[in-house]
Each structure stands twice: as C-alpha cells, then as structure tokens.
Structure 1
Amino acid sequence: MDQLAYSYEGNQLQKVVDSSNNTDGFKQGSTAAKHYDYDSFGNLKVDRNKGITGIKYNHLNLPVEILFDRGKITYLYTAIGEKINKVVIQGGGGFTVNYFDGFQYFMGKLLFFPTAEGYFNAETQNYVYQYRDHLGNVRLSYADANKNDKIDVGEIIEETNYYPFGLAHQRYKENNMIGVHDKDQLFSRIKRSFRRIVVLLMDQFCNIKTR
C-alpha cells in the first residue's frame, strides 16, 4: 500500500511523497521541491512525477499539446470540444489515433466501435461483451471466439477486481486466467491504455481543478 504525504499551497496540490517504497499504485518520479505547476485557470501545466514538462490548452481549456521529456501528444477537437484526433510522438517514432462517433482508428486502420454490450473488435472480428459493476467499471470482458454459443475459460479476455478505495488488483489476471486469446488480450490492453490516457491527461490534468 502507498503511504502518501500531500503538500498544498492554498488549495493547489504542490507535492506528493510516497514513503512506502511500493512500486505499485502512485509512482513518485521526482524529488524536486515542487511537483506540479498550474496556469491562471487552475489547469495543470507541469507534472514532474510523470515527466510532463508542459501542457498547452485551447479556448475550451482542453489540452492541445502535452510535452514530455522524450516526446509529446497533440490533440485536435471540433468546435464544441469533441476529440477527433490524437498524435503521439516519442523518440524517432509515433502513431496517430482518429475518433469518429465512437469508432477508433489506429494509423488509419479501424480498431473497434462500441456496442450496447461492449465493443466490436475489428481486427479479430469478434464481439466483445463487458460486464460492468454499479460504478461503471468493466469487471469482465469476454468473446465467443469459436462461435459455439458458450463462453469457455479461454475466451475470457480480461478480469479486473478493485480494492475498496479504487485501485485495481495487480497481477490478478496472470494468476487466475489460462488460455487467453492473445489478440483480444492485446487489443483490450491497447483500448484500456487509450481510455486511461484520456482520463488521466484530460480529466485529471485539465478539467479537474484542485480544490
């Protein structure tokens, strides 16, 4: 478990120190006297723990450029703030993701589109069904890959459980699942990473002002 100490200046978080030496959970990436910088609107500009050296915003307070030590992420939106494009540049490479009404394209290739019960994996041509808890968290993802109208153990793509305070269990899937379909598992990880990027870099860093 983490053992976190928070430092504030007024109502703005300035520094978080983890004394637990636990590699899971919060990752303290800086020993500087100040970890976070903000603009005049309260939006995060610098996060030294995550190596974010600068964030630029548009007139809607949405991030248009996030600068890291070794790369950057840029976003493009419609006039009403709907995200339609993301470009990630790191080192000598990078990739582009396009969004259109729930459809997501990776480097011009359709990845998935949402359904009422989950999403359709365009690469494996499988419908992936998701069981969510009362908070909306995805707890179980599965697909009938062999089309036999039942779900075998090997067709469970991902299972996630949470501690009462919200942190996901670590290494649970590796210890409790066998025969996972590699493509759907990899795709689920990619999809989850996209979702985390959106949540962390848009909600936490941009729209949520420190109280």
Structure 2
Amino acid sequence: MSTHSHALDEALSEFVRNVSMAGESPLLARLREETSHLEMARMQISVEQGRLMAVLAGAIGARRAVEVGVFTGYSSLTVAHALPPDGKLVALDVSDEWTSVARRYWAEAGVADKIDLRLAPAGESLAAMLAAGEAGTYDFAFIDADKDAYPGYYAQCLELLRPGGLVLIDNMFLHGRVLEPAPDDRAAHIVRDLAHQIFADARVVPSLVPIGDGLLLARKL
C-alpha cells in the first residue's frame, strides 16, 4: 500500500510499455510502427493507454462509442475491438489524409463496419448528433483533439452519454505545461481549468490517471 502515487522513472515506464506491448495485436503493432514515422507521430496514444481504454470499454459493456480525434486510428481500432459484434463507434476528425491510414487498418482488422467516420469539425458533428435526439444513448466517449475546444467537447460528450457512461480525455498533462502555464499558453490554461472544472462537476465521478500524457476519466452519474 502507499499513500501517494509512485513517480515512474524511465525504467519503470519502459517496463509498463513492454508488458503492455505483450498484449498488443500484430496489426496494432504495425499501425503504431507506421505512425511512428509520421511528422505528427506524437499525436498517437501510448500502448498502455490503449490497453486501459479497451479494459474500460469492455468493463462497462459499451455498445455505442464516440471518438473525437481519430488521427491514424490506433485508439479507434482498440475501442472497436472492445465493442460487441453489433457495436458502433462514431469517429470524428477533419483530416482525410490521416484517417486514410485508419481506414486501411480498420478494413484489415474486419471492424470497418463498426466505425462510422465523419469528416467535419467535431463540434458540428456532436451538435448534429444531439439535435438528432442521441443524448443519453452512448456508453463511452474519448476526446483527443484540439485542446482549445476541449471544454465544448466535454460538455457535448457528457450529454451524449447515458448514466454510468464514461468519458476519457487525453493529454491532460500537456507534457507538463499545465503545472505552470506560460501567460500566452492558451491550451495549457484551458486544459488546466477544465481539469478543475470536471472535478467540481456534480454530474460525474472523475479520476486523473498518470498514464501517457495524462488521462482524465469521468463516469456520468
């Protein structure tokens, strides 16, 4: 037992990664490797974070999920695998270039029929889903997109979730920038403020997990 979190040094972080990779499918490993050569490779989630997402989606019996920010599809492929055969993931992004990689891997994995990719500004897509009467019908939401829009995405995703549903928000550490944000670091101020806002939100039970670049989990009451 311990009264505080143990800070992971590089050796322990490497241990976590290596153990997590042992459970990674060859296809996910290939996608991760291909993505690592892209200029924006840092946008991909960590292997250990993907494992946690799969466990959480399965633990709540998620059937309907929404993802804000797809990139090359590692997280969406992970979540799609965790959904039942009739499950559905609505994947929101604006880049045809990056999601073309995702679509290729979804097809190879046999989960393309589970994923509804919508290429448009995510705020507009989420608003359309709510306008279509989909509030309270989703089980799982993952947000990993433009940080300036995080508060709006959180509000919209929370409305889409059923009671007991989970929303996960990535990059809550912003590589340490949230500790003492520079005056002109708008994204860091927004993310830091959002963390405090969510922990004060009576509609959810939140937890901030020091995995990857900081993952905030919130269960809707």
Q: Which of structures 1 and 2 has the bigger CA Rg?
A: 1
Flag the structure with higher helix content: 2
Taking structure 1 as the reference length, the TM-score comes to 0.30
Using CA pairs under 8 Å that are at least 6 residues apart, name the structure with larger relative contact order, 1 or 2: 2
Given the two structures, how large is their TM-score scaled by the length of structure 2? Answer: 0.29
